[in-house]
Chain A
Amino acid sequence: EDQVTQSPEALRLQEGESSSLNCSYTVSGLRGLFWYRQDPGKGPEFLFTLYSAGEEKEKERLKATLTKKESFLHITAPKPEDSATYLCAVQAEGSGNTGKLIFGQGTTLQVKP
């Protein structure tokens, strides 16, 4: 069964304290791994798509990496505005042509000034 697990569930950081969020996945074949940011009361906002092991993408203080079993979202020198829930999702080859996403439970990040 295709599955996505994120850790930790919650993370508290001081402003400027770098850290990483983990997304472990088990799929029959990976078409893509997606990172989203979700603020309270809003829909998920797209951050990154990764397709193959070894791929890396960066945006401001965020960097996403991918291996054959997991992805990391590295946050460098975070600011309070980075506080949000970060969601990881995979699109599996087993989903046929639908492309439905399988989501993890998310990591809620709080950055204190």
Chain B
Amino acid sequence: GAGVSQSPSNKVTEKGKDVELRCDPISGHTALYWYRQSLGQGLEFLIYFQGNSAPDKSGLPSDRFSAERTGGSVSTLTIQRTQQEDSAVYLCASSWAAGTGETQYFGPGTRLLVL
């Protein structure tokens, strides 16, 4: 079946502009995660959605970052007033459930470059 899809695959933007990154999880998966992978850094957790519950935003690095999940499926990560340090690969993952040792399946990522 189809895996996790993300768009765009690459995004180049100018400092100060807003960007939107999209994630389409595996059909039927209720949990959705966003992670960031910076050059030379490991993957770091950003935000988590589970069904209609309030998201866990504890990993968001600043209030310029926000995310929403519409209809329990597609998610959009928005970065406002981008900074050069936001340049990274943004990865989305989904799983059947959350917090029970369920495997998370990752998308191909969106490579963001802020000039």
Contacts and interface: CB of A to CB of B under 8 A. Distances in A.
Are A and B subunits of one complex?
yes
Interface of A: 31-32, 34, 36, 41-46, 49, 51, 87, 89, 91, 95-106
B34 to A, nearest CB: 10
A101 B45 contact: yes
A36 B109 CA distance: 15
B99 A97 contact: yes
B4 to A, nearest CB: 8
29 contacts: A31-B99, A31-B100, A31-B101, A34-B103, A42-B109, A43-B107, A44-B91, A46-B103, A46-B104, A46-B105, A49-B103, A51-B101, A89-B43, A95-B99, A96-B56, A96-B99, A97-B99, A99-B100, A100-B33, A100-B56, A101-B33, A101-B43, A101-B45, A103-B35, A103-B42, A103-B44, A104-B42, A105-B41, A105-B42
A32 B45 contact: no
A107 to B, nearest CB: 12
Contacts, number: 75
B101 to A, nearest CB: 3
Contact of B101 (A42, A49, A87, A96): A49
Contacts of B100: 31, 99
Nearest to A49: B103
A98 B106 contact: no
A74 B18 CA distance: 44
Contacts of A46: 103-106
Contacts of A41: 111
